[in-house]
Amino acid sequence: MTSECTFISSLLRQRLSCSRLVTIGLLIVVLATVLCRPAAQASDRDAALWNALRSRDHIALLRHAIAPGNGDPPEFRLGDCKTQRNLSMQGRDQATRIGELFRAHGIQSAQIFSSQWCRCLETARLLGLGPVEERPFLNSFFNDYARREPQTRMLREWLDQQALSEPIVLVTHQVNITALTGVYPGSGELVIVRRSEAGDLTVIGSIETN
């Protein structure tokens, strides 16, 4: 009887062990599903945004890459990068990677327009997507909010005149993007906007590049 009880006890321990293994396995599957689902959804969403940008009537608003600090020094002078807040090495790497993202999604070249601030111009050039054209209405008004409305109006009027037959990228500042779209982008974030036939602008999503 003792040997039979020992055998039965051993079987129960084995079954319990197997049950625990199955439970742990199920938990791992559930956890992996929960963790991977947001990443998969984000990937699908980003793919849709890149597809939209390759089509007509879409614009990418790009906040300049990482440039530590806020605003600009008191001695700021346009055209003198030494007086401005500039991209860090991390920011330069980020701008280069953003250009690689464009190419990886089938956009080898684009119309690139930039603020005249050095951190925007450097971001735009490091994209490697084509010549960079300066546009004053993309300049920051962080230190002069009286320029917010007239500059945003000029940007809207300019966008209304563009053919948008190929990808167009505007490299600018957080305040400018927020004034136009209501979105508060991070450094290097792309905000994708669709222009309707009536000229209305609609944000369809954003792509983070950190």
For 159-203, what is each residue's pLDDT tens digit? 999 999 999 999 999 999 999 999 999 999 999 999 999 999 999
In a domain, 147, yes or no: yes
Are residues 152 and 201 part of one domain? Answer: yes
Are residues 128 and 60 part of one domain? Answer: yes
Please tell me the pTM assigned to this model: 0.81
Residue 99 has pLDDT above 50, yes or no: yes
For 57-66, what is each residue's pLDDT tens digit? 999 999 999 9
Domain enclosing residue 4, as ranges: 1-44
pLDDT > 70 in the chain, percent: 80
Residue 16 has pLDDT above 90, yes or no: no
Are residues 183 and 91 part of one domain? Answer: yes
Burial 129-147 (b: 16+ CB within 10 A, else e): bbebeebebbbbbbeeeeb
Q: How many domains does the chain have?
A: 2
Q: What is the DSSP pairing of strand 132-134 with strand 111-114?
A: parallel
Are residues 78 and 170 part of one domain? Answer: yes
Over residues 38-55, the mean pLDDT reads: 82
Q: Are 194 and 139 contacting, i.e. CB atoms less than 8 angstroms apart?
A: no
| CA–CA separation, 29 and 32 (whole Å) | 5
| CA–CA separation, 61 and 107 (whole Å) | 15
Are residues 67 and 25 part of one domain? Answer: no
Q: What is the DSSP pairing of strand 58-63 with strand 190-195?
A: antiparallel
Contacts of 145 (CB under 8 A, 6+ apart): none
